[in-house]
Chain A
């Protein structure tokens, strides 16, 4: 699949590119901050910002492809300009919205 080119906020440190932030699995302009333990928006900022990158040997989430990645895969997606983060945030009450499948 071709890449979705992500607009990196110019010179901005935001939740959007913070390693501690999990974008919502469906509505990625909102998400969950694992440091403060609450829902914020992608253009918020705080002093605990840590720049997102693919480094540690763990699973990642590609928000462009909506799929989980190993570190190797994450590097590839990152280089192609996909939006790679540490994970996706799912609402705690998601069970209300799920059908039997």
Chain B
């Protein structure tokens, strides 16, 4: 059982330093020996709109976010008012004293609906909707409030340095986060180490940030006495990695053999492609040495649209590259026709699909799990393909490489399903989490020097034909129905043979992928209540199960990992052995429940859904399960998150 379990929120205007503050705060806890999980919630806006980091800290695994939190660092008025209901009793609010008079109705960047809700709330308790009122309300609830004289503190930093402040936003935020971390018992040395990890050791950057942290820390000691130190966590004394989902998948692709990546900028996928591009000319250990090159190239190209991105990746793949493209819902819609081509033409290509809140443009910067059915049924015609959904960062790492292997072994498009929550959530990883020794790279039946009379679409028992890249011999790869040589054919016998070949190939995929890679069962395998879900709900569900277990509620969790080909038989067996089935999905239509019913005939009788474009909290899932168990609720919609 976890001895330390803290949550905090750092809020502020976008572009105003929240990103650095969040990362530094996260890293300070990592340096102190804890596990962390932090996500960024932000608007589709370059600067000015409200954003916040929401972080969980534990000595055990930090699996999910939750509210209420133990600390809100709210450098601006909008942050105080937005998160007024998120701090729990005994927690802390750190805010700017000068913002006390600011009225919610005057905050230009605040969403009108939130403004109305705040006005109504404060009216109901006969107060004006100001930061000052919020502070009073929180104090009455047992929250300790810390007003920072930010301007004076910033001046003090400038005086200490003997120089003007180079980056106002960063400095203000370091002051805020240091004051906040003081309340959680994290001292200066950890913050300084985190600042180094974030910005490097360059004196020009380090000095003002260290000065800012010191000023804030001394202020807190002056006001509250010496800090009550949080003990060091158990994870000290080794090098760890702090990375987001976008970065982890990028890393996996780079070490997993990617040689060609295309992309069109789209949130939340572009950061993955950017990180690959930053590392596109990379030293790959033994591989570089064998090729006698210092570094090895990965071609990365930003295309004019998503249609070009997928088509270019297909061209590269048919030429023999290990190729991928990354996108989100709207871009994936554009890719549909080409995905159908990849099935017909039997092209090994990976599409990394980072789902976000839809439909249409939806909310570009927030999360959802609404493209499951779209991914599976993408592409017109009978176009079955592999769809794999990762539950967390570690799974995403291995799945990214497996996706390539499957694509090349089966010569099929593979959709790697992820979401914005995973993309922007930062976690801490250890060397053994990314066990590269386990990663085999399999290119299937690749022939570099085929014989005369090579048949690109040779009909075989398992449906897989030998794959020669373009340039190895004469051939045709065709998006029209074709004969074994690839030449277009409308002959009914040819047609039937090719359709059956592809069908057999899909069956081979189903048979070849081990069952334990298609799904996982967590918790008590004999429990009669089964949660069924896919994707990034994994860790929030497991965390909820830990809480439920403590209350004597036993459930098991069926996590679908390969959604196509769907493991119908195993899923049927598990669900047949259940008295109650509860689906957890971040969409409104119950897409996974639909899929389960379609493949097994079994009804997922209860659904816990969240579609306010915020990620699931573990407490919400526990709450939902309890409502199902106690009242038999058919549908529980949870709505936490600002």
Contact = CB atoms under 8 A, between A and B. Distances in A.
A1 B164 contact: no
Given A29-B151, A65-B108, A101-B267, A94 B169 contact: yes
B363 to A, nearest CB: 10
Contacts of A41: 151, 154-155, 158
Interface in A13-33: 24-27, 29-30
B364 interface: yes
A29 B365 contact: no
B267 A24 contact: no
A8 B103 CA distance: 19
B105 A94 contact: no
Interface stretch (B45-53, B188-196, B283-291, B474-482): B45-53
Nearest to B169: A91
Given A26-B12, A99-B19, A99-B51, A40 B150 contact: no
Interface string B86-113: 0000000000001000010110110000
> Could you say which interface size class chain B belongs to?
35 or more
A39 interface: yes
B19 A30 contact: no
A contact face: mostly helix, strand, loop, or mixed: loop
B42 A101 contact: yes
Contacts of B268: 100
B150 A29 contact: yes
B165 A1 contact: no
A4 interface: yes
A26 B167 contact: no
> Could you say which interface size class chain A belongs to?
20 to 34
B445 interface: no
A42 B150 CA distance: 13
B542 to A, nearest CB: 28
A91 B168 contact: yes
A9 to B, nearest CB: 14
Nearest to B107: A66
A89 B172 CA distance: 15
Nearest to B163: A38
A97 B105 contact: no
B615 to A, nearest CB: 16
Interface string B34-61: 0000001011111110010000000000
Contact of B15 (A1, A26, A29, A40): A26
A2 interface: yes
B180 interface: no
Given A26-B169, A64-B106, A99 B42 contact: yes
B90 to A, nearest CB: 29
Contact of A27 (B51, B150, B365): B150
Contact of A66 (B20, B48, B365): B48
Residue of A1, A30, A40, A92 with most partner-chain B CB within 10 A: A30
B556 interface: no
B204 to A, nearest CB: 11
A4 B48 contact: no
Contacts of B103: 4
Nearest to A26: B16
B215 to A, nearest CB: 14
A93 B164 contact: no
B365 A99 contact: yes
A1 B106 contact: yes
Given A99-B365, A101-B267, A25 B47 contact: yes
B155 A90 contact: no
B589 interface: no
Nearest to A66: B108
A97 B48 contact: no
A27 B68 CA distance: 28
Contacts of B75: 27
B270 A100 contact: yes
A1 B108 contact: yes
A36 to B, nearest CB: 9
Contacts of A91: 167-170
B306 interface: no
Interface string B395-432: 00000000000000000000000000000100000000
A90 to B, nearest CB: 7
A72 B226 CA distance: 54
A39 B208 CA distance: 13
Interface in A66-101: 66-67, 89-94, 96-101
Given A41-B155, A99-B51, A27 B109 contact: no
Interface string B247-260: 00000000000000
Given A2-B106, A39-B168, A30 B14 contact: no
A26 B165 CA distance: 15
Nearest to A33: B164
Contacts of A93: 166-167, 170
Contact of A2 (B14, B105, B109): B105
Contacts of B265: 100
27 contacts: A2-B105, A4-B103, A26-B48, A27-B75, A27-B150, A27-B154, A27-B168, A27-B169, A30-B151, A41-B158, A64-B108, A66-B48, A67-B108, A89-B168, A90-B15, A90-B47, A91-B167, A93-B170, A96-B19, A96-B20, A98-B15, A99-B365, A99-B424, A100-B267, A100-B270, A101-B44, A101-B267
Interface of A: 1-2, 4, 24-27, 29-30, 38-42, 64-67, 89-94, 96-101
Q: Which 8 A-B pairs have the closest CB atoms?
A: A29-B151, A26-B16, A39-B164, A38-B164, A101-B44, A97-B19, A66-B108, A26-B13
